[in-house]
């Protein structure tokens, strides 16, 4: 692989900001969008379990219902691609087995050879289930995917806005996630900043490095 320079990286991360107003006339080209979707698919997750679903909302009728259940925010109808990030609710042993089967398929190995890894995962699954942290564990993995995908988008020159301010239960019902055993945690609008978005010009506010990075 051909690494990029630190300048290229930092320039993109400084350029990125939570886009409040998108240019509704601009659409992300198909090839670029496919790369964004691949970034989601390739995201790391605990054990590689991928306890998630990425819902790309394209139906205009549904999109137009979203601002009202998103604290009035208009990004859903103005951005190019609007994605709801959801986690697998109440992950089951069957979900773990589906992943094990996928490993066997991709790596062309027997299920038997994966028994140790399967038991290792099931041990963590059981602990999380018993301690009541299973859903949160899965939700956290989704945030990893959001972080990866927003960074990937910035490097491609695509703007994003992460939106936690969504009425999740209403989203789940409207998008059919509830019925399928998934729960939304956050959405991300992708597209291009409008020239009218004055937020783009505001200096980025971060604590100093010394305030958040600690050496021990």
Q: How far apart are CA 142 and CA 145, in angstroms?
A: 5
18 interacts with a second copy by CB under 8 A:
yes
Supply the minimum distance, in Å, between the C-beta of residue 136 and a second copy: 5
53 interacts with a second copy by CB under 8 A:
yes
Q: How far apart are CA 162 and CA 146, in angstroms?
A: 8
Residue 48, sorted as left (phi over 0), alpha (psi -120 to 50) or beta, turns out to be left
DSSP code for 156:
T
Q: How far apart are CA 160 and CA 186, in angstroms?
A: 13
140 interacts with a second copy by CB under 8 A:
yes
Which of 11-19, 20-28, 72-80, 191-199 is the region at the interface with a second copy (rule: CB under 8 A)? 11-19
Residue 171, sorted as left (phi over 0), alpha (psi -120 to 50) or beta, turns out to be alpha
Residues 143-182 touching a second copy, rule: CB under 8 A, are 143-152, 155-157, 162, 164, 175-176
Supply the minimum distance, in Å, between the C-beta of residue 24 and a second copy: 20
Which of 19-27, 35-43, 72-80, 189-197 is the region at the interface with a second copy (rule: CB under 8 A)? 35-43
Q: How far apart are CA 172 and CA 84, in angstroms?
A: 10
With CB under 8 A as the contact rule, the residue among 24, 26, 27, 46 that binds a second copy is: 46
Give the interface size with a second copy as a residue count (CB under 8 A): 78
């Amino acid at each position: 692989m051909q690494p990029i320079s630190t300048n290229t990286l930092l320039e993109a991360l400084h350029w990125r900001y939570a886009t409040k107003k998108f240019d509704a006339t601009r659409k992300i080209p198909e090839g670029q969008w496919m790369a964004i979707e691949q970034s989601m698919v390739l995201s790391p997750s605990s054990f590689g379990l991928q306890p998630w679903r990425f819902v790309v909302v394209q139906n205009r009728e549904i999109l137009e219902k979203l601002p009202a259940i998103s604290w009035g925010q208009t990004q859903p109808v103005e951005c190019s691609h609007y994605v709801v990030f959801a986690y697998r609710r109440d992950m089951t042993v069957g979900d773990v087995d589906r992943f094990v089967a996928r490993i066997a398929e991709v790596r062309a190995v027997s299920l038997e050879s994966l028994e140790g890894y399967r038991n290792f995962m099931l041990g963590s699954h059981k602990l999380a289930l018993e301690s009541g942290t299973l859903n949160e564990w899965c939700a956290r993995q989704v945030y990893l995917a959001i972080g990866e995908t927003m960074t990937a988008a910035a490097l491609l020159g695509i703007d994003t806005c992460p939106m936690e301010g969504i009425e999740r239960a209403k989203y789940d019902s409207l998008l059919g996630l509830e019925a399928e055993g998934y729960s939304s945690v956050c959405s991300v609008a992708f597209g291009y900043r409008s020239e009218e978005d004055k937020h783009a010009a505001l200096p980025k506010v971060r604590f100093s490095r010394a305030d958040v990075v600690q050496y021990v």
